[in-house]
Amino acid sequence: MRIASRGLPPLVAGLAIAYPFLVPNYYLVYAGALTVMYAAMATSWNLLGGFTGYVSLGHSAFFGLGAYGTGLLVTRMDVPWVVALLVSALLVTVFAVGVGIAAVRVRGASFVIVSIALVSMMNLIVQGWRSLTGGSTGLQVPSPFPDLHRGETHMVFFYLFLALLALALASWWYVSRSRFGAGLRAIREDEDKAESLGVPTGAYKVTAFALSALFVALAGGLYALWFGSLDPIFVFSILIASSMVLMSLLGGVRHLFGPLLGALIVAPAGEYFLIALGETQIHLTATGLVLVLVVLFMPDGILARFSRRRAGPSIPDETAEQRLQGVAP
């Protein structure tokens, strides 16, 4: 069991790298790139949601801003695409620090409300600011690789998203072993106690918020370069954020590979629904029902079922009696 779980990540990584050469057609490369993009976004969402327990339904705001930032820099200012991607992600991160300072002042349900409000507001502003963003007709972004045909472009972006996923996973892993990560977990367990023990909760929460926005913004920028056309109603939809939440919850928010596992299930299922049922709205119902079922029956995710550690608070609540038994000779 232990050897199997050690050997699994390199095996999966190897399979992922070989994936575009294993599949028979470019459509599956496209679907793979989309899945890896969602996996990267869910993993970066989990930098905030998994560690601190702050559920954000507003991360599509950072996705959309990253996408529009990159697109506008490329089209309006003729910046090379790599520079545009990095500059726009940096700007979004700075913006996220500002939003974070206001947003993490409130906890629980109010935080979720604020995050929903953030997306709706960005959607309104981008649609309303017609002269800059093209309004609801959208924004066209030229392809960064004009010499490649469509299928090859899918392949390039598959590897770009894979690199982003690796970066997000490495960050999560690094944070989970750091003092910073321990502080974030303390916030999840009991924010007041953490604060009274000297954890700088405000600064930690804002940092986690901005860090998780950074990777989502990078994914958004790559998406803009990949798809070449941005629809404000899609990129700023709560649906994207809710996919990140659903994937993370389904896989398990307390595990490094939880969001990745969730993405590997949810994203292909979504693509399959699209092919099998066409462009109907019933896929929304499917997403909604799965979310309800996961929240009701599996809030700790799939991986929690397989790990031996019992779900629940990582600092178990003991009764005085249990504690006495522990110290009794």
In the complex, the residues that contact other proteins under the rule CB under 8 A are 53, 55, 57, 102-103, 105-110, 112-114, 116-118, 120-121, 124-125, 127-128, 238-239, 242, 245, 249, 280-292, 295-296, 299, 313
Give dist(CA 191, CA 170) in Å, integer.
Answer: 26
**Least separation in angstroms between CB 160 and other proteins:** 30
Give dist(CA 96, CA 93) in Å, integer.
Answer: 5
**Least separation in angstroms between CB 177 and other proteins:** 25
**Least separation in angstroms between CB 315 and other proteins:** 13
Give dist(CA 42, CA 24) in Å, integer.
Answer: 27
Give dist(CA 52, CA 23) in Å, integer.
Answer: 38
**Least separation in angstroms between CB 50 and other proteins:** 12
Q: Which is nearer to other proteins, 278 or 329 (CB)?
A: 278
Q: Which is nearer to other proteins, 35 or 115 (CB)?
A: 115
Q: Are 117 and 55 in contact (CB under 8 A)?
A: no
- Give, rounded to a whole angstrom, the gap between the first and last alpha carbons of the chain: 35
**Least separation in angstroms between CB 233 and other proteins:** 9
78: left (phi over 0), alpha (psi -120 to 50) or beta: left
Q: Which is nearer to other proteins, 152 or 191 (CB)?
A: 191
Give dist(CA 165, CA 206) in Å, integer.
Answer: 22
3-state secondary structure (DSSP) of residue 139:
strand
**Least separation in angstroms between CB 106 and other proteins:** 5
Q: Which is nearer to other proteins, 112 or 269 (CB)?
A: 112
Q: Which is nearer to other proteins, 92 or 238 (CB)?
A: 238
Give ∠ CA 137-138-140 in degrees, rounded to 5.
125
Structure tokens at 64: 């959309």
**Least separation in angstroms between CB 325 and other proteins:** 24
**Least separation in angstroms between CB 220 and other proteins:** 19
Q: Which is nearer to other proteins, 22 or 102 (CB)?
A: 102
Q: Which is nearer to other proteins, 70 or 133 (CB)?
A: 133
Q: Are 218 and 89 in contact (CB under 8 A)?
A: yes
The letter for the amino acid at 300 is D
Q: Which is nearer to other proteins, 34 or 241 (CB)?
A: 241
Q: Residue ranges of the alpha helices (H) in the chain?
A: 2-22, 26-52, 60-77, 81-103, 108-128, 130-133, 150-176, 179-189, 191-196, 201-227, 232-235, 238-251, 258-277, 282-297, 302-306, 320-327
**Least separation in angstroms between CB 76 and other proteins:** 21
Instruction: Please count the CA atoms within 13 angstroms of the CA of 198 that sit on its side-chain side.
Output: 1
Q: Which is nearer to other proteins, 74 or 118 (CB)?
A: 118
